[in-house]
Chains A and B, each alone.
Chain A
């Protein structure tokens, strides 16, 4: 959660953070499914650490021109590498097929990207009065949104919203299945 809240004060920072997390997570997940079972437990920590760190460093070299953005992300870039490593270490049974592992990792990173993009866009637009660095006239400027506690509050409201939407969808599905079961019973 700190990854999606603290450094995502602008849309560009949010997307870059998502890219770093994807760089740390996806290769580690695929490698874990391919060779994870063959690596002795003693060597899994350095192995996953090397893979995550290497991928993050590679991406950092590619975006080394964005010095200001990288400065905004600060310590969260190496933390992204650490996160990728810990995620694979926590998986007791990695996926047997590389395609499943890739699917899992991509969907996880995509979910992070969606939340990070939404949060960072909202905080940049309403908090800083710009979007993607382009100054815009927001209907109201809420400078408190750039503070971390506002990010936590926004995440809380987003979670509540998704739970509400989820419960509505599940409720409709339950009602539909009950209707179907009732019709089937009537037919019998």
Chain B
């Protein structure tokens, strides 16, 4: 018999960090295409700027930590692509710069970098930008108004449907327009149909699963159903809540981050449901019209305990299963006909 030696790993998967990140980059392209369609080439400039700043920050932080910079895994680029999608198309370059720097240099690299961060970098960076510039972060340009490369005071900015909901009013926008993205809002957060298509693409590519987004939207819907903010039929109120703000884009891109989410299926469902419920709950009591990012960061901090709970549950179930296999329940013997046996 001829033996061949080979270096490990002996079991290889086609999936790697690079393939997953590439899938996410591909999934953001339709959103940028729609953003260019609605707002002009400024959308592309913001995306490109975000990618450059995030990648450079990633490399610089790795150098400072004494590691060899590895920006080819595209994790920095994904952060740089997601941040502009979470902000208005009229967001300043300084806002994107600060958000990217905060996300990489504060939320990602100090915790160990790629694969070891506790908080989602894009969510942390965007949340910090929202705190620093609350007026600019929640003022949106009108779709189909071409934006110049440098936005000035001549650009008309309006509030989003989320703002109307926060005031207790019903948005004066058709639900179909909200579905197609023809509403003022975050650059990548308004095109619900395109977002759902991106989700299907990522699920088919097995980059993300269905459990977390479904649980997330389920939790958000349940709280929206129980505590509607608009005077409308229940399902309409839920639809307004889900389609306004960052809930759908969060369900597609942010909550599925494999590093900052739990590992097993049941904890994922619990995590997704909790994030969704907390997001809508924060909308009632929070200071900002959009609180999904803060809810996500809070739940990111609890992932470690959810994982511990998930492991205990998995061990308990395996134990029960093993006990069941070794000692299966014995069925009671049928009553014997003593007379027939004696005969």
Against A, the Cβ 8 Å flags (1 = close, 0 = not) of B128-172 are 100111100000000000000000000000000000000000000
A144→B128 contact, CB < 8 A: yes
- 11 pairs, CB–CB < 8 Å, chain A vs chain B: A142-B132, A143-B131, A143-B132, A143-B134, A144-B128, A144-B131, A144-B132, A145-B132, A147-B131, A153-B106, A156-B110
Known: A143-B134, A144-B132. 14 other contacts (CB 8 A): A140-B94, A140-B98, A141-B132, A142-B98, A142-B132, A143-B131, A143-B132, A143-B133, A144-B128, A144-B131, A145-B132, A147-B131, A153-B106, A156-B110
Distance in angstroms from B203 CB to nearest chain A CB is 36
Instruction: List chain B residues, Cβ under 8 A from A142.
Output: 98, 132
Give the total number of A-B pairs whose CB atoms are below 8 A apart.
16
Instruction: List chain A residues, Cβ under 8 A from B131.
Output: 143-144, 147
Instruction: List chain A residues, Cβ under 8 A from B110.
Output: 156
Instruction: List chain B residues, Cβ under 8 A from A145.
Output: 132
Lowest 9 A-B CB distances belong to which pairs?
A: A144-B132, A144-B131, A143-B132, A142-B132, A140-B94, A144-B128, A153-B106, A142-B98, A147-B131
Instruction: List chain B residues, Cβ under 8 A from A144.
Output: 128, 131-132
Instruction: List chain A residues, Cβ under 8 A from B106.
Output: 153
Distance in angstroms from B106 CB to nearest chain A CB is 6
Instruction: List chain A residues, Cβ under 8 A from B133.
Output: 143
Please tell me the size bucket of the interface on A. under 10
A126-152, CB < 8 A from B: 140-145, 147
Distance in angstroms from A22 CB to nearest chain B CB is 32
Chain B interface residues toward A at CB < 8 A: 94, 98, 106, 110, 128, 131-134
Distance in angstroms from A137 CB to nearest chain B CB is 14
Q: How far is the CA of A79 from the CA of B132 in the complex (A)?
A: 30
Q: How far is the CA of A153 from the CA of B106 in the complex (A)?
A: 8
Q: Which residue of A lies closest to B129 (CB)?
A: A144
Q: How far is the CA of A153 from the CA of B102 in the complex (A)?
A: 10
Q: How far is the CA of A142 from the CA of B98 in the complex (A)?
A: 9
Q: For A140, A144, A145, which residue has the most chain B Cβ atoms within 10 angstroms?
A: A144
Q: Which residue of A lies closest to B133 (CB)?
A: A143
Q: How far is the CA of A46 from the CA of B133 in the complex (A)?
A: 48
Q: Which residue of A lies closest to B105 (CB)?
A: A157
Distance in angstroms from A9 CB to nearest chain B CB is 15
Distance in angstroms from A143 CB to nearest chain B CB is 5
Distance in angstroms from B65 CB to nearest chain A CB is 10
A11-43, CB < 8 A from B: none
Q: How far is the CA of A145 from the CA of B106 in the complex (A)?
A: 14
Q: How far is the CA of A145 from the CA of B98 in the complex (A)?
A: 12
Instruction: List chain A residues, Cβ under 8 A from B134.
Output: 143
Q: How far is the CA of A9 from the CA of B160 in the complex (A)?
A: 33
Distance in angstroms from B288 CB to nearest chain A CB is 13
Distance in angstroms from A144 CB to nearest chain B CB is 4
Q: How far is the CA of A142 from the CA of B133 in the complex (A)?
A: 8
Q: How far is the CA of A156 from the CA of B110 in the complex (A)?
A: 10
Instruction: List chain A residues, Cβ under 8 A from B98.
Output: 140, 142
Q: How far is the CA of A153 from the CA of B132 in the complex (A)?
A: 15
Distance in angstroms from B185 CB to nearest chain A CB is 23
Q: How far is the CA of A144 from the CA of B98 in the complex (A)?
A: 11
Instruction: List chain A residues, Cβ under 8 A from B132.
Output: 141-145
Q: Which residue of A lies closest to B92 (CB)?
A: A140
Instruction: List chain A residues, Cβ under 8 A from B128.
Output: 144
Q: How far is the CA of A145 from the CA of B128 in the complex (A)?
A: 10
Distance in angstroms from B155 CB to nearest chain A CB is 20
Distance in angstroms from B105 CB to nearest chain A CB is 9
Distance in angstroms from B206 CB to nearest chain A CB is 37
Q: How far is the CA of A158 from the CA of B133 in the complex (A)?
A: 25
Q: How far is the CA of A144 from the CA of B127 in the complex (A)?
A: 10
Q: Which residue of A lies closest to B130 (CB)?
A: A144
Q: Which residue of B lies closest to A127 (CB)?
A: B132
Instruction: List chain B residues, Cβ under 8 A from A147.
Output: 131
Instruction: List chain B residues, Cβ under 8 A from A143.
Output: 131-134
Q: Which residue of B lies closest to A145 (CB)?
A: B132
Q: Which residue of B lies closest to A156 (CB)?
A: B110
Q: How far is the CA of A127 from the CA of B190 in the complex (A)?
A: 32
Distance in angstroms from A142 CB to nearest chain B CB is 5
Q: How far is the CA of A140 from the CA of B133 in the complex (A)?
A: 11
Q: Which residue of B lies closest to A147 (CB)?
A: B131
Distance in angstroms from B56 CB to nearest chain A CB is 17
Distance in angstroms from B236 CB to nearest chain A CB is 36
